[in-house]
Amino acid sequence: MGTILTIGEPMVVFKAQETNASLADAATFQKFSAGAELNVALGLARLGHATEYVSAVGQDPFGTYLQAEMRRNHVGVTNLVTKAAYPTGFYLKQNVDHGDPAVYYFRRGSAAAHYDLNDLRGVDLAQVQLAHLSGIFAALSAESLAVYRQLNRELLQHNIPVTFDPNLRPTLWSSTAEMVRVTNQLAQTATVVLPGLGEGETLTGSRDPETIADFYLHQSEVTQLVVVKLGAKGAFAQRATGEKLWVPGFHVAPVVDTVGAGDGFAVGLISALQEDLSLKQALRRACAIGAMAVQVMGDNDGYPTPAQLKTFYQEHQTQS
């Protein structure tokens, strides 16, 4: 198998230790690595896939920590550059006993947001078999959007398939209308589109998974598969050929932290498809890793090794 390439913003997250305390009131925090595309690279590497992560970090303790975490997890860092003039982004995350935690970002003007076309010229696509992109990197800055578009053009020229997760972050865009317009435009050049149900509603105006899938399949001849993430309920997939498939989710307890579940889903789907498993098996693995992700505190700490994934299946075989 070839290399799976991702491009994104690596971040440090500090998660509050006090349950249900506001971010203003919390006094103790634990540090983890984060960033949607980095989460995917880490998860794929843990399953034995070769990965290459494209981005920039600052010349600061956060950047040093993230580089060490990538190397420790066997993520390729050949294309990770250091920009001494800019900081590494980080954010704070609430600790809640139910629902989604509050988050607060410190990412404006980060090193990753200043990754530019000159940096991209050093990226070699010769060994890349698939690329995973998301709407977050495109939203960071005008430079980031230009890099995203150029990388996407080069991937298409090399006939390298692209998986695309919208990963909507409204605060990074000038307006909701601009976010919707650009995100749907970017999806047109993706082989596989992976919206969540809520994202699909924002982007297409519908909460019906089949309607969301039809929208992306009909707006582009490049898109061959749309997978709508349904959270604990599972997933719906539709191919350009018309094949449709519903797969139920896994019920797990306790749910510790929902952040990173969508990236875990992408890890499962991409890894399984790269291993030539069936679409049903890929969706099942995607749902499994998404479920595993919500049972731990870090954004990506719940992503499994092959042995851990096998154990999870054995423990939840009645749900399969």
Which of 97, 119, 165, 263 is catalytic? The answer is: 263
Instruction: Look at phi and psi of residue 219 and say left if phi exceeds 0, alpha if psi is from -120 to 50, else beta.
Output: alpha
Amino acid at site 193 = V
Q: How big is the chain, counted in residues?
A: 320
- Helix 36-46 to helix 61-72 angle (10° resolution) is 30
Q: Is 116 marked active-site?
A: no
Provide the CA 312 distance to its chain's centre, in angstroms: 22
The number of CA neighbours under 13 Å toward the Cβ of 290 is 25
CA distance 66 to 70: 6
Question: Cβ contacts of residue 110 below 8 Å, gap of 6+?
Answer: 9, 58, 86, 87, 88, 89, 140
**What's the chain's Rg over C-alpha atoms?**
18
Catalytic residue annotation: 263
